[in-house]
Amino acid sequence: MDARALLVEVAATYQRLRSLRVEALSQTESGDANEGSSNHYKVQFLYRAPNQFRSERLGTQGNLLVSDGDRLHQTFGGFPGHTPRYTANPLPEFLKRPHVFHWDMPFGNEPFLFHSIADHVAHAELLRDEDGCHVVSVAYDPTPYHGVESRGPVLFWIRIADQMVVRQQGEIGHRHPASDDIRWQRHDVTVRQIEVNGAIDDATFLFTPPAGVEEMPAGRCGVSVSGGGGFMRSEKGSGRRYEHWGSHEFDGDTLVDRSRWRMRGVDLNFERRFTFSPDESELRVVERVRGPHEEKEITATIRVRSAADDAR
């Protein structure tokens, strides 16, 4: 069988779906040249066409996603040391929803709906038949996202009996902004139980906030990262990139802020050290700037409290 033709059949099968119930095991390995880690958990996913679904990561740190057909509800943070919260936002268009397969970022959320599996295919090959499945290797067009430096083919196990995808594997290499280090992620999502076009109770897609959960403003996803972050942006008209990566830490009572910039082919490193005087009346800032050919240090001290402040 031609691999591309098979993918078209799979896409058509999912486009005709009335409902889907899946329990799967998601396994991820990640790391760089120096270290790595692995993670696994179970996911339960229920879908009723065209716009209702419920997804839950099982376990003590499980998050819940529910689409009632109009809004997307999400709970998160239900693990020790974090206050459980939830948010509700308008439901995105189909190809931007969680658990829908995205050719440009195949493993953002575990994909279970493969309506677009045959889109943007650069190369497809039928490797073998195994355990009642066609095993297909698919390379997609280059992703438009900055920071994705390598993306190998995605392997799909497609069940011969009904063209359902019951396993996916792939590897993605990410590069932090203004850095040359590549951090890879290997993904393996295996369906353990599957029911196609079965009846699903209406109550499955109703969302009731659990007791004690705080609501966040609309538009907030609740995900935050401490310690570091960055961005990449292309300069209009020239196609050149600006890349930035920043982090912070404490060295005793001194706050150390570090940032790396890559702009117009030049790497620049900044380090700022913020230290209060013993009486907290002054803040001393030491800034070191290092470029490809020289390094300079600038020191400034500013008064942040006055005698009047102390009197109050």
Q: Which residues pair with 168 in a beta bridge?
A: 156, 189
Confidence label for 87 from pLDDT (cuts 50, 70 and 90): confident
- Highest mean pLDDT pick, 102-111, 162-171, 212-221: 162-171
Nearest Cα to Cα of residue 32 among 177, 184, 148, 170: 184
Please identify, among 215, 237, 260, the residue that sits at the C-terminal boundary of a domain. 215
Looking at the structure, do residues 47 and 188 belong to the same domain, yes or no?
Answer: yes
Show the CA angle centred on residue 167, arms to residues 202 and 22, nearest 5°: 15
pLDDT number for residue 148: 57
Mean pLDDT, residues 137-152 taken together: 76
Q: Could you report the per-residue pLDDT of 247-280, keeping only the tens digit for each?
A: 778 777 888 888 888 887 888 889 899 999 988 8
Do 126 and 1 contact (CB within 8 A), yes or no?
A: yes
Looking at the structure, do residues 89 and 182 belong to the same domain, yes or no?
Answer: yes
This prediction has a pTM of 0.68
Looking at the structure, do residues 194 and 234 belong to the same domain, yes or no?
Answer: no
Checking if the pLDDT of 299 tops 50, the result is yes
Please identify, among 187, 215, 243, the residue that sits at the C-terminal boundary of a domain. 215
Looking at the structure, do residues 15 and 124 belong to the same domain, yes or no?
Answer: yes
> What CATH number does residue 47 fall under?
2.50.20.10
Looking at the structure, do residues 58 and 162 belong to the same domain, yes or no?
Answer: yes
The DSSP code for 65 is E
**High-pLDDT (> 90) share of the chain, %:** 47
Confidence label for 72 from pLDDT (cuts 50, 70 and 90): very high
The answer for residues whose C-beta is within 8 angstroms of residue 1's C-beta and 6 or more apart is: 126, 134
Q: Could you report the per-residue pLDDT of 203-229, keeping only the tens digit for each?
A: 999 988 766 666 665 544 433 333 456
> What CATH number does residue 289 fall under?
3.30.1300
Please identify, among 175, 194, 215, the residue that sits at the C-terminal boundary of a domain. 215
